[in-house]
Every structure is written in structure tokens, then in C-alpha cells.
Structure 1
Amino acid sequence: MDVRRTTVRDMRRSNRSALLTTIYREGLLSRHELGHRTSLSAASVSNLVSELIAEGVVEEAGSVDSEGGRPRILLRVSPAFRYVAGAEVGETRVRVELFDLAMNVLARADHQIDTTSPTVVVKHVLEGLAAVIASSGVRSELILGLGVAVAGVVEGNEVVDAQTLGWDAVPLRRMLAEGTEVPIQVDNGANMLGQAEMWFGAGRGATDAVVALIGSGVGAALVADGSSYRGTRSSAGEWGHMTIAYGGRRCRCGAAGCLEAYVGAEAVLERYREAGGVVPAADEETAFVELLDAVGTSEVAARIVDDTVGYLAAGVANLVNLVNPERIVLGGWAGLLLGERYLPRLREAVGEHALRQPYAQVTIELCELGRDAVALGAATLPVLRLLRDGGVVPSRS
């Protein structure tokens, strides 16, 4: 093997990756600005950008005036170069979305589920993928990949262990790959929410952050010095299973006193029923909204919601003290419903539990990308691979 040739090829791909990632993450940039951002020479930037344009990965998108010179041509990743899909596997539904490379939603498919059996989940993910391809008119060979976000610990982009779902070493990627030629990548749902918010939403610009996901269950994505922190075997961020009350309520994971047993939507509704509250809605999300709406007329609802905000504040304060982030972003469908109504109270309560100095250094914000952010984050998995490979599309053969 020609080591020198391999080294030159690898360096060229690394430089392409640096340029492409900078264009994608920072928006419209000129060649001159790219040189400053990447520390590559003007000649290297010119040559590599010309390559990327010729291959259709990058395109020119207007110009801006420069001081005393010719207008500078702005560059962007071509939205229609390829397409990506993202799937969110929740406990009550499976959502699949198709995006262009500007992350515009082209098609969406939702399936309500009453069981989280792996075979049922795989069936609905594949049906959703087929549906968004058909409705968008995009040829399947132009789809870079499908990212799948799921609760639980994901090892090696393959095996999922999710105690709350009853999954034990489920080979999810392989099961999905048997039903489609679209490349599959699998990751934890909270991490995918975190990636979406750090790239496009409330986390942008932060280098040390926590993105919290509160839905039926509870999780978090940890970002340290600009990089996702996963721990030894990718299980870091299981914030929902931090003990909040010694000897407390039994959690779905089997342990007692977990944060999830107090602030996860399923547990909140269970506490409401035990206190005598009536939950007429059949689906969890509607029931949670009805609980919040009842606060003004029901003492039981007011007490349960007030306790929930308090438990959540204690959990967030633990993050402040333990991680010392500059920003905490609250997301997930239940997190957004709570945050939209009680964020000022939550911030105040966090201050009552957290140490003074780290609390003064953190901001607590709501997720900016809405309830679809997990699927969006999952769709960034194939985008990330494209950026790392310098715009080279891997062969499916």
C-alpha cells in the first residue's frame, strides 16, 4: 500500500470535511470567510470548493458586497443534493419525517401504537419510511439514510437496551435493515433532541450544555466542551433514573425514587389518579393537557402540578451542581407543556435548590424546535456522516 498516497487522500477528505461542516453549521459563507474559519489556504479553499460544487454538494447562493472589491459569492450545502429521514420511536407513537439537506420537512407519517414490541416498532418505522418516500416523490436511492431515535441505551449503532420498554439487547438496526435498502443508524432519543437543539435551536453557541427531554419518560443529552458526552458505553445522560427520593415511588425501570417516577408524564398522571383526579382522555398527551388545564379549578390538579414543578426543579438543580453547564434546554412534549406555563417558577425553584455560583452561570431555556425535534435530530445522523466523509456518498453495494 502507498502510505503517502493514503495520507494525502485522507488529508484531502479531512479538509473537505472541515469546509463542508463549516458551511453547513454556520450558514452562508464566502470562500474568504471559509479560509478564516478553517485556517486553510485560499488556494486549498478554492480548489476544494470547486470540487464540491462540481459534485453538486455545494452551490452558490447569492453574493454580498465587500469593502473596496468585488462582491463575495456566498456558498451553502445544496438542499437537494440528497435527502435524509428521521424516526422518533415514542411510547405511544412512531413518527417518521423526510427532510432535504436544509432540514426542511418534505413529508411526515405518524402511527399510534399501543405496544412497544420491537417487531411492531420495526413494522411502523418501515411503513412510515415507505409512506414519506411515496408522498414526497423522492427516489429512495437519493436518501442518505434513516436515523432512528429510541429510548434506552444504544451500543454500537446496533443494540438497544431499554428497561422501561422491556427491551433487552434488541438488534434494532439489523431488524430495520432487513426491510429496506436505506442505510440505518440508531441512537438514543434524548441525545438526538440534544443534537438538534445544539445544531439548530436553543443550544447554538453553547459549549457546555444539557438538553433535557421530558415525555412519558425522562432523559438528557450532555454536551461538554462542544462535544456530546456519552460515557463508557453510551449510557451517560440517564438523568431520569437519578434518585430524587430515597425509598420513593417505584419507577418503570424497577428502582425506587427515580426522577422519572415523579416528572415523567405517565407517572404524573398516575399520581393524579391516586390523589382522586379523573383522567377521561384515552391518550397520554391529551390527558396531560387536561391536567394542566384543570389547575385553576381543581385543588388536586394544582397540587400535583405544583409538586411536579418542584421535583423537576430539584432534578434540574442537580444538573446545575453536578455538570455546571452554561445552558440547560428543556424539551420533550411534556417538558414543553410544563415550560410554556411554568418556566419562571421553575427557574426560581432551581435557584432555591442549586448552589449559588453555578446557578448564576447557567441559563434555563425552552427547546426552540418544537415537538418534532427528536425526529429532526435523528435525521442529522446521516447528515453527520456526510459531513465527516467530506461529501462523499457511501456506496450501498
Structure 2
Amino acid sequence: MRRSNRSVILTSIYRQGPLSRYELGRETSLSAASVSNLVGELLEEGIVEEAGSVESDGGRPRVLLRVAPAFGYVVGAEVGETRVRVELFDLAMSVLATVVYPIETPKPAPELAVKYVLQGLDAVIAQAGVRADRVLGLGVAVAGVVEGPADAVVHAQTLGWDGVPLGAMLAAGTDIPIQVDNGANTLGQAEMWFGAGRGATDAVVALVGSGVGAALVTGGTSYRGTRSSAGEWGHTTIMYGGRRCRCGAEGCLEAYVGAEGVLDRYRLAGGSAARSDDDEAEFIALLGAVESSEVAAKVVEDTIGYLAAGFANLVNLVNPERIVLGGWSGLLLGERYLPELREAVGKHALHRPYAQVTIELCELGRDAVALGAATLPVLRLLREGGTTKRLAAS
């Protein structure tokens, strides 16, 4: 019970803070005595610190509390199709170090991904100048279905990974605790905690990049299905007998709105030169050609329509209060065409649930997947009430 109450207190401070003891009592429904005792413990252990004060109604100023940014550090890694990005953060989620390793093949071998993640882990620790035993954990975001969290196994058809024991492979190379999750889920957690999802209890955070996925949040909790594969929105069928998707099926949404599918449709329509190694540059060029090329304009118009139909399916099926669009190509589209996208969703969705949803862009930028991965060890710290064997032993 004590650990549970510590978790409630610490989570409230982290997610809503800085907060006073009085505000913590209201947020958690714990007694003033319990709040005072638990806060005293957390202050003594150094995980919580004072962060100024605010005036009270007629009494003494109330001291504000926050999680101490330097209590420990977390690392997030994004294993993408063109790069591996590794970042180190303090507990305020300020970036202290970043390394990026380009990947030349769209289907990297698991061993290559593990090599770059572990190499990046050592690099960011050295770059930031922190002690390795102060790193609370490493969160890793990947494509596909992740079964775990202990000894996570990854099934990623688009990468050619079938039952890859990624968690064990990573753990064999470091003493730092490892957690692995789907990239859309890590993006979703980041946006729900720090970005455009804050304040919503029923939301969808959509990741549209080379691939397509979604994080589903219902009642304030991530919905993952029976074995964590919920959210594979990119592999819902948008057109029967349609384009072949990278997963092997036909007519998947990803084959129409994922960057690779969009660029392929553009090439087939005669609107682009030969395939390049830089999808992002080619996608930007496509968007830049809209004013001068009917082919480019048609491809972009159709892409907005397909994406709107996919969003409308989410509106009708799960009735979210908010849909957040992220991912590098999703943001490139949304930054230019968000009003048109919202209007198109309204043409496909039922009127009542459409009137109840807002459609927004991610606020954390194109590189938020690694940030989201770093929240995995933070979440574990909060759930454990700030007690970690790793820090106790250091």
C-alpha cells in the first residue's frame, strides 16, 4: 500500500507538477498526513525537490514540488527504416545527448539494429558525461508487434522480422534495464504526456511515416489488445483488391498513405525521377511540385482523401475525442493541408462522432518517437514509487 501511494504521489507530481502538498491531497484523495509523510520520504531520497512557492488564501506561501531532473537519466532509441536515433534525457525530458546512425537498407537485420542501439547507448552516456549507473533504463521503439515487456519479442513483417528476441539480444549487451515497444505506442505516450494529447482521455495518436500505425488510448489508458498488437491501423484494408502492401496483403491503408506508398504512386503516374535513397527529400519535392504539376497535385489530393477515410474509420469505430497526427510524412502533410484533411474526414465519418472529435498535429516534432521510448523507463520509475534496485545499489 505504501509503495502504491508513493506511486500515486510521484505520478501526480510528474504529470501535473509542480504541485503543492495541498494540491497533491486534492489530486490523490490521500490524507494530509499521508501526503506529508510520503513527500518527506521522496524529498529525503532526492527524487523530489522544491521548486519555488505560490501564495495561498490568507496563509503561508505553499511550497511547490517537482521531480528532480538530475535524480536519474533515461535513454530512448528509435529503430527506423532509414536510421537508428538514440537520445539521453534527464527526468525533465530535456535532451542531453543525441546520436544518429544511418541505415542503408529498408530491412535492417536485427543484429545491425542491436549493434547501433547499444553503440548509441554508450555514445550518449559518454557525450552527456553522466555515470552509466545513473541511467534508469533504455527504451527502444521499433516497428511491428511487440510481445513482452519482459524479454520482448518483435514480429515486424515489413522489416522481415519474425519472432525476433530483441529484448534478450539487447540485454545481452548491457546491464542497463531494457524495455521495447512499438514506435506508434511510444509516440502516443509522449504526446499524451507532454504534447497535443494532454488532457484527453480517449484519443488516437497516428504515426504516418514510411509506415503507418496508431496508439489507441481509452479511459486514459493505452489499449493494446490481447497480445499487444492493437493499433496496427496501417494494415486495415482501405481498398479491397488494392495495392500490395509491404506486409504482403492487398489494399492496406499504409500502401496508400505511407511515404513509400505515396512516392511509388507518384512514380507510377510519371511524376518523379528514379527512386532515390532519401524518401524525405523526395516527399518534400513532391509537395513542392503541387502548384506546378497536375500529377503531383492529384497524388497529394488522393493521399489526403485516403488518410481522411482512415481517420473517419477511427472516428466511427472508437469515437475518440481527439486524433493527433504525427510521424515525419504525416507532419509534412498536416502542416500544409490540415484544414483540407479535417474537411475530408467530415465527408466520410458519421456526423455525430465527427462533431465530437478534434484533429490536431503532434506538438513534439518529427523525432518524438525516441522521446516516447525514453518515457518507458520513466513510467516504470513512477509505477515503482521511485524505488529502483539500480539506484539503490549505486
Is the TM-score greater than 0.5? yes
In the alignment, structure 1 residue 17 sits paired with structure 2 residue 17: no
- Which of 71, 74, 88 is residue 98 of structure 1 equivalent to? 88
Once residues 222 and 349 of structure 1 are traced to their aligned partners in structure 2, the CA distance between those partners, rounded to angstroms, is 22
- Which of 317, 327, 331 is residue 332 of structure 1 equivalent to? 327
Once residues 374 and 301 of structure 1 are traced to their aligned partners in structure 2, the CA distance between those partners, rounded to angstroms, is 29
Query: What residue number does 1:171 align with?
Result: 165
Residue type at the aligned position of 1:268:
V
Once the two structures are superposed, the pairs formed by residues 1-397 of structure 1 within 5 Å of their partners are 11-115=1-105, 116-157=108-149, 158-279=152-273, 281-395=276-390
Query: What residue number does 1:4 align with?
Result: none
**Offset at residue 297 of structure 1 (A):** 1.1
- Aligned with 2:290: secondary structure? helix
Once residues 273 and 308 of structure 2 are traced to their aligned partners in structure 1, the CA distance between those partners, rounded to angstroms, is 25
Q: Deviations over 1:263-291 (max 9, x none)?
A: 00011111111111224653111111111
Residue type at the aligned position of 1:15:
N
Q: Which runs of 5 or more structure 2 residues have no equivalent in the other structure?
A: none
Once residues 17 and 294 of structure 2 are traced to their aligned partners in structure 1, the CA distance between those partners, rounded to angstroms, is 50
**Offset at residue 185 of structure 1 (A):** 0.3
Residue type at the aligned position of 1:36:
R
Once residues 168 and 290 of structure 1 are traced to their aligned partners in structure 2, the CA distance between those partners, rounded to angstroms, is 35
**Offset at residue 146 of structure 1 (A):** 0.4
Once residues 284 and 83 of structure 2 are traced to their aligned partners in structure 1, the CA distance between those partners, rounded to angstroms, is 17
Task: Tell me which stretches of 4 or more aligned residues in structure 1 moved more than 4 Å.
Answer: none
Once residues 87 and 187 of structure 1 are traced to their aligned partners in structure 2, the CA distance between those partners, rounded to angstroms, is 10
1:279 and 1:287 in contact (8 A); partners too: no
TM-score for both structures, normalised by structure 1: 0.96
- Aligned with 1:186: secondary structure? strand
Q: Name the count of aligned residue pairs.
A: 387
Once residues 89 and 307 of structure 1 are traced to their aligned partners in structure 2, the CA distance between those partners, rounded to angstroms, is 29
- Aligned with 2:207: secondary structure? strand
Once residues 167 and 14 of structure 1 are traced to their aligned partners in structure 2, the CA distance between those partners, rounded to angstroms, is 38
- Aligned with 1:295: secondary structure? coil
2:136 and 2:390 in contact (8 A); partners too: no
Residue type at the aligned position of 1:20:
L
Once residues 31 and 319 of structure 2 are traced to their aligned partners in structure 1, the CA distance between those partners, rounded to angstroms, is 38
Once residues 135 and 388 of structure 2 are traced to their aligned partners in structure 1, the CA distance between those partners, rounded to angstroms, is 10
**Offset at residue 177 of structure 1 (A):** 1.0
- Aligned with 1:345: secondary structure? helix
TM-score for both structures, normalised by structure 2: 0.97
Residue type at the aligned position of 2:122:
A
- Aligned with 2:244: secondary structure? coil
Residue type at the aligned position of 2:143:
A
Q: Deviations over 1:60-103 (max 9, x none)?
A: 01001111110000000000000000001111011000000000
Q: Which runs of 5 or more structure 1 residues have no equivalent in the other structure?
A: 1-10
**Offset at residue 243 of structure 1 (A):** 0.3
Once residues 122 and 289 of structure 2 are traced to their aligned partners in structure 1, the CA distance between those partners, rounded to angstroms, is 40
